[in-house]
Amino acid sequence: MSIPDPQTYSFRQILVDGIISPWQFLGLSISFVPGTILRLIRSGSYLTLLSPSRFQDSWFGDFWATVGPEVRKNAGAKVVPLLDGRTRDGKIYDEVVGPAVSGTVIEVGPGSGLWVSVFSDRTTALSDLTKDEKDTGLRKRSPDARVTKVYGVEPNPDMHERLHQRVRDAGLEDIYEVVPVGIEELSSSGRVEKGSVDCIVSILCLCSIPDPEKNIKELYTYLKPGGRWYVYEHVKTQPWQGWFINLYQVLLNVFWPRCIGGCQLRRDTGKTLREAGPWSHVDFAPFKQETWYNVCPHSVGVFTK
């Protein structure tokens, strides 16, 4: 693993990007609270106002509607290659180095559907790619990789309208089914059969699910033998990032889940996935191009059952 040299970054970069910007993100989220309260009062949704968990969902729905597209723009140049089979050991490749997402898919926590278009065929999806993604010639998956069915398992009702709209925009009404429950209720919903799924896709959502050890193990049972789990998640800081950033993440995590829809910064998601069940192949690593002072570091890769 290549470890970035702390000397190559200026003090200003570390201060602004590493130390201050996470608080700006929290502040931005808090600035949505008055708007959400007003919206709920105007629509007469008083029960949502009185329930902390439902209010948090509504607040996060409003926040993500604005911030999500920006996050997607930054993450697109990593997630699209991941789903096209062009990442390995935390690096992005120009050529295809593994299988693309295909067949029957569970998308865990699709939120407002920012990634839905990626499941569509090349022509439709291309129109929705960011300029960066087009410029770098992404969408280079193998031609036989076709997604035939997607179950979008999303419990937050405040996401559903936008999610349905993005499914329609991508022309995927026939294959993308929104399952309006949390993954902990997927089994009782009876909508997806265990052992029937070719691929699971989780993008920035395993930080937000309850009881990750139990629920990730449960999701594992939905994969067929040979099925693949594509992961792009932010995780607990890595030891090579040093004690200060590690401690700083611990401090931030006191406030983060309360302000960002229950999102936890300190999850060791790679370990939880590895322990979910036997895998025939694991390719999961910290994303190579990130700085050591990133308090929200990402890991990327594919687990094959």
Ligand X SMILES: C[S@@+](CC[C@H](N)C(=O)[O-])C[C@H]1O[C@@H](n2cnc3c(N)ncnc32)[C@H](O)[C@@H]1O
Based on the shown chain and the rule CB under 6 A, indicate whether residue 110 belongs to the binding site for ligand X: yes
Beta strand spans in the chain (E): 87-88, 91-92, 103-108, 147-153, 176-179, 197-203, 223-234, 281-286, 298-304
Based on the shown chain and the rule CB under 6 A, indicate whether residue 296 belongs to the binding site for ligand X: no
Q: What is the identity of the amino acid at 139?
A: R
Based on the shown chain and the rule CB under 6 A, indicate whether residue 200 belongs to the binding site for ligand X: no
Among 68, 81, 103, 297, the residue binding ligand X under the rule CB under 6 A is: 68
* Positive or negative torsion for Cα 55, 178, 198, 145: negative
Which among 39-47, 207-215, 243-251, 269-277 is the span making contact with ligand X, rule CB under 6 A?
Answer: 207-215
Among 197, 209, 252, 273, the residue binding ligand X under the rule CB under 6 A is: 209
4 vs 73, beta carbon nearer ligand X: 73
Neighbours of 48 (CB within 10 A): 21
What is the distance between the alpha carbons of residues 130 and 120, in angstroms, rounded to a whole number?
15
147 vs 205, beta carbon nearer ligand X: 205
First to last CA, the chain: 25
219 vs 245, beta carbon nearer ligand X: 219
Which among 4-12, 34-42, 96-104, 106-114 is the span making contact with ligand X, rule CB under 6 A?
Answer: 106-114
101 vs 292, beta carbon nearer ligand X: 101
Query: Is residue 32 a contact partner of residue 56, using CB atoms and an 8 Å limit?
Result: no
Based on the shown chain and the rule CB under 6 A, indicate whether residue 108 belongs to the binding site for ligand X: yes
64 vs 292, beta carbon nearer ligand X: 64
Task: Give the number of residues in contact with ligand X, rule: CB under 6 A.
Answer: 21
What is the distance between the alpha carbons of residues 189 and 3, in angstroms, rounded to a whole number?
45
Query: Is residue 139 a contact partner of residue 122, using CB atoms and an 8 Å limit?
Result: yes
Based on the shown chain and the rule CB under 6 A, indicate whether residue 167 belongs to the binding site for ligand X: no
61 vs 90, beta carbon nearer ligand X: 61
Based on the shown chain and the rule CB under 6 A, indicate whether residue 150 belongs to the binding site for ligand X: no
What is the distance between the alpha carbons of residues 269 and 213, in angstroms, rounded to a whole number?
9
Q: Which residues bind ligand X (CB under 6 A)?
A: 68, 108-111, 114, 153-156, 159, 182-184, 203-205, 208-210, 263
